[in-house]
Amino acid sequence: MLLIHQSLHTVNFFGAIFVKYQGCITLNTETQSIMKKYLILPMLAAAMASCATQELYLNVTQPAPVTIAPEIKTVGIIDRSTPTDQAKSLDNLDKLLSLEGADLDSIGTLEAIKGVTEELAANDRFNEVKLLNGMQFRTSSLTGLPSPLTWEQVEAICSESNTQALFALEMYDTDTRVNYSTAPTKLKTVLGEIPALIHKASMETLVKTGWRIYSPSDRAILDEFIVAESIVFGGQGVNPVAAVAGMVNRKQAVKEVSRKAGNIYAIRLIPYRLRVTRDYFVKGTDNFKIAKRRAQLGKWDDAAELWQQETNNPKMRVAGRAHYNMAIISEINGDLDAATAWAQRAYSDYGNKHGLRYVRILENRKYNEEVLKYQEQR
C-alpha cells in the first residue's frame, strides 16, 4: 500500500478519493494503478530519456532582424521627433514636473541621430549615408510612434536628396523618476560640528527612441522599432534641490545613452551570432559509449564513424538514434541538407521523435540561410 502525507481530510485525485488515516493518505489499488500510469511511469521514462542524451553547443549565424534590398545603396536620415508647438507646451510642463532639463530632449535627439549615422557609415552595406539636416518635421505624438509619413512625402524627400531609402527618428522622449531620502550627518561650522540632515536623490531616466525605415520603391515600411535605455543617477546635498544639482554628469550620461540607442538601432541591419544547444544520443550500444568519449575530446568525425555503423543496427531504437546523431554531425559540418535527410529518416523509418523536432529546427535554419545570402548580396 502506498502512503502519502497530507493535511487535508479528503483529496480528489484523478477521480479517486483519498481518506486521511493517522496523518497519512491511504490509496486503494485502483488509485495506485492510476498514479503509476499517469505520474510515475512517465516521469521515469522522461528521466531515462534525458540520461540517454547529452548537450552540445553550436554558434549559429542569424540573419539581421531587418532586411533591406541589396540594390539600395544610398540612404538618408531624418529627424521628425521635434514636437509641434501645442505638443511642445505639454512636453515642457511634463519635464518641469519630472525635473528634466528643458533642453535634454533636443541634446539627446542630436546624439541619437549621430549614433545611427556613424554606425550605418561604418557598415559597408551602403555606399553613402546622408544626414538630412535641412529638412524640418514636427510630430504631435509625445509618448509613442506618430503616424507614418505619407508615401508622397517619402518619395519627395528621397527624390530631393537623391536617396533610395529613408531612416527616420520618429520619436525621442526622456522620462524621469526621482526618489528622495535623508540621513543624519554633521556639518562643520566655525562654531564646530552641528547635527544636520543630508538629502540624497536617486534619479532614473528612461530614454526612448522610435525608428522607421521607409522604402519608396515598393512603398514598404521595412522596420518599426523602439529602443529603450535607462540610466540611474545619484546626488546629495543639504536640501533636495542641492541633491538634484549634485548630479553633475547627468546631461553627459543622457548624451551617451542616446548615441548608444542610435548605434543599437543601426545594428539591426547586421547578422549576429547565436549560441544554440543540440542533444545527441550517448547510449544504445558500446559504440555510443565510445563515440561519447570521442565527442568529448572534440573528435566529432571519429564519433560519427561509430554512429554510421549503428545506422544498420537491427534494433529500431538503436538505428533511429544513430540516424539522429548522423544528422547532428552533418549540421556540425555545415551540411544542412544531409542533416535534414538523416533526421527525417530517424523519425519516418525508426519512429525517433527527436528526429521530427530536429527536422523543424533544420528547416528553420535553412530558411535563415537563404535570408542571410540575400542580405549579404552586394
The answer on 146 and 237 residing in a single domain is: yes
- Strands of 52-191 (E only): list them: 53-62, 74-79, 128-131, 165-189
The last residue of one of the domains, among 245, 270, 295, is 270
Give 354-358's long-range contacts (Cβ < 8 A, gap of 24+): 354/53, 354/279, 354/324, 355/320, 355/323, 355/324, 355/327, 358/324, 358/327
CATH code of the domain in which 281 resides? 1.25.40.10
The verdict on residue 202 lying in a domain is: yes
Q: What is the pLDDT of residue 19?
A: 33
Q: What is the pLDDT of residue 316?
A: 97
The answer on 290 and 211 residing in a single domain is: no
Number of folded domains that form the chain:
3
The answer on 257 and 227 residing in a single domain is: yes
The verdict on residue 150 lying in a domain is: yes
Residue-range definition of the domain harbouring residue 192: 74-270
The answer on 335 and 208 residing in a single domain is: no
Below-70 pLDDT ranges, the chain: 1-50, 84-102, 138-143, 241, 244-249
Helix axis angle, 104-122 to 250-266, nearest 10°: 40
The verdict on residue 142 lying in a domain is: yes
Bridge partners of residue 4, in order along the sequence: 25
Cell of 314: 537491427
The answer on 234 and 206 residing in a single domain is: yes
The answer on 245 and 102 residing in a single domain is: yes
Residue range 34-54, pLDDT digits in tens: 444 444 445 444 444 457 899
The answer on 239 and 159 residing in a single domain is: yes
**177 with 211: CB under 8 angstroms?**
no
If we measure between CA atoms, which residue out of 64, 78, 229, 55 comes closest to residue 139?
Answer: 78
Helix axis angle, 300-310 to 286-296, nearest 10°: 170
CATH code of the domain in which 125 resides? 3.30.160
The verdict on residue 312 lying in a domain is: yes
Dihedral sign (CA 258, 259, 265, 268): negative
The verdict on residue 302 lying in a domain is: yes
* Exposure string over 124-146, b if 16+ CB within 10 A, otherwise e: ebbeebbbbeeeebebebbeebb
The verdict on residue 53 lying in a domain is: yes
By CB atoms closer than 10 A (0-12, 13-18, 19+), residue 46 is exposed
Pairing of strands 10-13, 53-62: unpaired
The answer on 248 and 105 residing in a single domain is: yes
- Strands of 159-271 (E only): list them: 165-189, 192-215, 220-237
The answer on 259 and 165 residing in a single domain is: yes
The answer on 306 and 173 residing in a single domain is: no
The verdict on residue 42 lying in a domain is: no
Bridge partners of residue 169, in order along the sequence: 79, 211
The answer on 128 and 253 residing in a single domain is: yes
The verdict on residue 57 lying in a domain is: yes
Pairing of strands 128-131, 53-62: unpaired
The answer on 157 and 143 residing in a single domain is: yes
